[in-house]
Amino acid sequence: MNNKLFALWGEESRSSDSSPKLYEYIYNQFNVNGNNIIWDGYYSPPSLSIDENLKKQLLNCMTEDRISFDVKDRFYHSIGKAASEYIRLMNGEKIEIVDAVIYPTEEQVPYLFNNIGKDIEIVIFGGGTSVTEGLTPKKKRKYSVSLDIKNFRDFEINKESLVLEAGTGFMGPELEKKLNSENLTLGHFPESFEHSTIGGWIATNAAGQESNRYGKMKEMVIGVKMITPTGTYTDHPVPAESAFFKVSDLAVGSEGAYGLITKAWLKVNPIPSNRYFHSYMFHSFMDGIEALRDEFRQGNSPMVSRLSDETETALSMLAIKDSFLTNIFKRYLNMRNVLDKSALLILIDDKKSSYKSFKKGVSIGSAPAKFWYKTRYDRPYMYNELLKRGIVAETIETSMLWGSAKTLYNNVIQHISVLYRTR
């Protein structure tokens, strides 16, 4: 057996900084002993051989330095972050692993597609944060090869038009750093921001935490270049066209089904000169929904508006470590009768606004919103600790009309509660 490989989220040396009280509450809810670590977060892949015929085919398409048969590379390019994948890793089950990993340049891709054998399936890899099991080789052909897009790195800003031409291999932090140096931002910040790529965002039509202001990827993309086995297709990068459809209409949200997205033209924006943080407590989740709806109907849409129901709000309160200041804060919430069974709304905006509808709640200052902003990419690291104790979580995302909010929310909570009680 090979050495064990880290199989949890993110960086091996990084951990969650949440309060022990939060973990204790969760463990009690699931009747789990928090001291009982049932999985260390590592996986031991089997010894993997190198197929000489496959190696020969790949060397016919690119140089040896762009091909890897390393066990570690092959393992990490074969798993994503879906709950079902974590369960298999936790149980030590066999994982289908790609036979090789390749790192082509954009210029090498057409030749690769035209000359690679029909006995090879190509699995596209961006940042590895997929939750659809899309990275797992299907083994429908003799060989499975992971194509890593990290070498797609063109970067050019049209400052006059505020358009970025970029290779799809950029990870979120590096992309924003380059844009920020020009006082610009893409404005796309999903929870996976630190470990996901432009290509992955486009292929999934991702929405970030500031999508109220900047939109989903569909609203950011004005063109793409997509390479397929039948040819290369490139948009004329303009904001809109009245006739037929663009390549980006097929590419955005396609999960890579139609081809490999190698380049994109994206709208960029000046970095906001100010950020204003607001936090409110409502006596119920539905009170918060009504306040949000009223503000949006009036055309007020802050950059970030995040409403937690009563349960999530209680967990957020538990996540705060005890200190002199936090204890004073909790006493204030208790005095205003919003410490227990209340719904927390945090707002972040680039302009001062009155938000009249939110005054139906209790203003609790900027601290909760600032704390969320500071830790907004940390939640998966808390999940790592739960996985080690056999607790597997899943995210449910949906879209709805305002009028359906109450019914949908109540139905989901009721259904999950029934499942929880019967298992």
- Which has the closest alpha carbon to 85: 147, 94, 12? 94
Type of residue numbered 191? E
Q: Kindly list the distances between the CA atom of residue 110 and the CA atoms of 18, 224, 395, in Å, as whole numbers in the listed order.
A: 48, 16, 37
For the full predicted model, state whether its pTM sits above 0.75: yes
Do 205 and 249 have their domain in common? yes
Mean pLDDT on 283-302: 92
Mean pLDDT on 84-112: 95
Do 238 and 309 have their domain in common? no
Check pLDDT > 50 for residue 1: no
For residue 49, the model assigns a pLDDT of 95
As given in the structure block, the two tokens for residue 60 are 């016919």
CATH number at residue 344: 3.40.462.40
| Spatial separation of the C-alpha atoms in residues 402 and 397, rounded to whole Å | 15
- Which has the closest alpha carbon to 124: 298, 260, 251? 260
Do 190 and 110 have their domain in common? no
> Given pLDDT bands bounded at 50, 70 and 90, which one contains residue 422?
low
The range of the structural domain enclosing residue 391 comes to 276-421
Check pLDDT > 70 for residue 423: no
| Spatial separation of the C-alpha atoms in residues 66 and 148, rounded to whole Å | 10
> Given pLDDT bands bounded at 50, 70 and 90, which one contains residue 2?
low
Do 207 and 325 have their domain in common? no
For residue 332, the model assigns a pLDDT of 81
pLDDT in tens, 320-346: 777 777 778 888 887 888 878 899 999
Number of domains in the chain: 3
Mean residue pLDDT of the chain comes to 92
Do 337 and 228 have their domain in common? no
CATH number at residue 197: 3.30.465.10
pLDDT in tens, 16-30: 888 888 999 999 988
Do 57 and 128 have their domain in common? yes
